[in-house]
A = this chain, B = another copy of it.
Amino acid sequence: MRQKDETKAQHILRATLDEVQVVGLAGLSIEAVARRAGVATGTIYTYFRNKDALLDALYLHTKQKFAAFVFSDEGLPLRAAFTQMAKAYVSYMIENKDEMVFMTQMANSPYVTDETRATVALGVRPATALLERGKAEQLLKPLDTAWMLAFLSGAMGALAPLAAGLPADQQAEFQDAAALLCWDALKA
């Protein structure tokens, strides 16, 4: 018999991501995903309980990949760590536009389970820690951490579409600008 193939699950997730770029989350159909993944419709259900579960899984996967790239704490001094995160954020946006589009569309959808939201929230902890360190060192404004995070991620997220089509020679400039704005906004 054919063994359940995790590669195939990855193919399906990838096909879902690609299909959302083309037709949007609202226009997504399982049949189109299957066609794009090169499998039968029924096969999707071997790997994912239903459409919701597929999208939830893709969201979790995408968010975790994103968080792993952007939110790493490498023990740098505060300002440097902050800047590095901001730059990582921007460069991830530029190089993974499709994932950003997907995450944005999912954020306000009913597909994401509470459990996934909770798990995703954990990935942000390095950023939370960084902000709190900054407040303790009185380098940052003494505001609510959740508040600051929302401000930052909203601002950065809104820049994603602008970052998308950027020529390579302006990317460094873009990163620097974004990092600077974020820092100036929060610094004490």
Residues of A within 8 A of B (CB): 1, 24-27, 40, 42, 101, 104-105, 108-110, 141, 143, 146-147, 150-159, 161-162, 177-178, 180-182, 184-187
Closest to A105 in B: B108
CA distance A155 to B143 in the complex (A): 15
Inter-chain contacts of A150 with B (CB < 8 A): 158-159, 161-162
Closest to A151 in B: B155
Inter-chain contacts of A143 with B (CB < 8 A): 177, 181
Contact A181:B141 (CB < 8 A) given known A156-B154, A162-B147: yes
Inter-chain contacts of A158 with B (CB < 8 A): 150-151, 153-155, 157
Copies of this chain assembled into the complex: 4
CA distance A158 to B152 in the complex (A): 8
Question: A109–B162 contact, CB under 8 A?
Answer: no
Question: A27–B181 contact, CB under 8 A?
Answer: no
Closest to A142 in B: B177
List 8 additional A-B contacts (Cβ < 8 Å) besides A147-B162, A154-B155: A1-B42, A24-B108, A26-B26, A26-B109, A104-B108, A146-B162, A151-B158, A184-B187
Inter-chain contacts of A26 with B (CB < 8 A): 25-26, 109-110
Partner pick for A184 among B1, B27, B185, CB 8 A cutoff:
B185
Inter-chain contacts of A105 with B (CB < 8 A): 108
Inter-chain contacts of A155 with B (CB < 8 A): 151-152, 154-155, 158, 185
Contact A181:B177 (CB < 8 A) given known A153-B158, A157-B158: no
**Residue of A25, A26, A156, A158 with most partner-chain B CB within 10 A:** A158
